[in-house]
């Protein structure tokens, strides 16, 4: 897993019990993500220590359908400072077409309250990042359009915050965008760890957070429009 940099398995049915028991014997804490989940819903942390606990939670997982089980991400203290209870990520939206990468936008996502996820629909806070400087360039905003200069739980300053190792993240984005070139638009979620930036997940229908930006995205949207227009013409 060169981009994930952690162990992941898939649990779909009872045949996956041996793989799960092996995984859980090495990772007493792990993340459970329903495969068809959206917006961070039903994502949860689990802690198991005994064989009995592992088998019990395995049956619970199977009852909920196909799930991804992941080793816990230990985030860098600089990113944890915004909200320690959640893994605070960077959502980076890109468009890749004919070998040309367009970086559309990036936002810092932070959890809030007791939530372990940073999704806006779970009460999280988003803040736009200047793609050139790697600096948060506006207030943090919730999906209810509440605005924050400082994180309401930790007091960490949002506007003007520098994202650590931004150049490293940009290089990673330029690399991963070419791995599946047929998927033109992707919303990449990255977390910073002591191993550097790691991919949390990739979203094939990402929302472009226009309302988090003071400036327009006309140039980026023109690139997307022209690419899809070419696709439609070729199909006729």
pLDDT tens string for the chain (236 positions)? 689 999 999 999 999 999 999 999 999 999 999 877 665 567 889 999 999 999 999 999 998 889 999 999 999 999 999 999 999 999 999 999 888 999 999 999 999 998 888 878 778 999 999 999 999 999 999 988 899 999 999 999 999 999 999 999 999 999 999 998 888 889 999 999 988 999 999 988 776 654 455 566 677 777 766 776 666 555 54
Looking at the fold, whether 132 and 187 belong to one and the same domain comes out as yes
* Domain presence at residue 43: yes
Looking at the fold, whether 42 and 111 belong to one and the same domain comes out as no
CB 221 within 8 A of CB 210: no
* Domain presence at residue 1: no
Domain end (from 23, 54, 71): 71
Looking at the fold, whether 38 and 83 belong to one and the same domain comes out as no
User: Residue 1 has what pLDDT?
Assistant: 62
Looking at the fold, whether 124 and 230 belong to one and the same domain comes out as yes
CB 37 within 8 A of CB 53: no
* Domain presence at residue 115: yes
Looking at the fold, whether 120 and 187 belong to one and the same domain comes out as yes
* Domain presence at residue 51: yes
Looking at the fold, whether 81 and 65 belong to one and the same domain comes out as no
* Domain presence at residue 175: yes
- In CATH, what number is assigned to the domain containing residue 97? 3.30.470.20
| Residue 12 domain boundaries | 8-71
In the numeric block, which tokens belong to residue 103?
A: 């970086």
Looking at the fold, whether 26 and 95 belong to one and the same domain comes out as no
Looking at the fold, whether 87 and 67 belong to one and the same domain comes out as no
Looking at the fold, whether 116 and 31 belong to one and the same domain comes out as no
* Domain presence at residue 2: no
Domain end (from 71, 95, 111): 71
Domain count, the chain: 2
Looking at the fold, whether 24 and 98 belong to one and the same domain comes out as no
Looking at the fold, whether 46 and 125 belong to one and the same domain comes out as no
Looking at the fold, whether 65 and 160 belong to one and the same domain comes out as no
- In CATH, what number is assigned to the domain containing residue 44? 3.30.1490.20
User: Residue 71 has what pLDDT?
Assistant: 95
* Domain presence at residue 24: yes
Domain end (from 26, 53, 71): 71
Residues 202, 205, 206, 207: what is their CA dihedral angle, to the nearest 10 degrees?
-170
* Domain presence at residue 3: no
């Amino acid at each position: 897993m060169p981009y994930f940099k952690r162990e992941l398995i898939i649990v779909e049915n009872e045949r996956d019990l041996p793989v799960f028991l092996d995984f859980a014997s090495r990772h007493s804490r792990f993340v459970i993500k329903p495969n068809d989940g959206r917006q961070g819903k039903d994502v949860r942390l689990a802690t198991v220590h005994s064989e009995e606990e592992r088998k019990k939670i395995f049956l619970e997982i199977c009852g909920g359908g196909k799930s991804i089980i992941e080793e816990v991400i230990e985030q860098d203290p600089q990113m944890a400072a915004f909200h320690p209870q959640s893994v605070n990520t960077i959502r980076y939206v890109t468009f890749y077409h004919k070998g040309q990468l367009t970086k559309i936008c990036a936002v810092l996502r932070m959890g809030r309250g007791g939530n372990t996820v940073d999704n806006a629909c779970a009460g999280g806070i988003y803040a736009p990042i200047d793609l050139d400087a790697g600096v948060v360039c506006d207030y943090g905003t919730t999906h209810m359009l509440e605005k924050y200069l400082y994180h309401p739980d930790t007091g960490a300053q949002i506007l003007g915050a520098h994202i650590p190792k931004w150049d490293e993240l940009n290089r990673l984005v330029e690399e991963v965008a070419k791995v599946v070139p047929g998927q033109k638009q992707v919303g990449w979620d990255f977390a910073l760890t002591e191993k550097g930036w790691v991919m949390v997940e990739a979203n094939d229908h990402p929302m472009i957070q226009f309302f988090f930006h003071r400036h327009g995205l006309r140039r980026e949207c023109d690139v997307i429009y022209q690419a899809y227009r070419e696709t439609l013409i070729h199909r006729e």
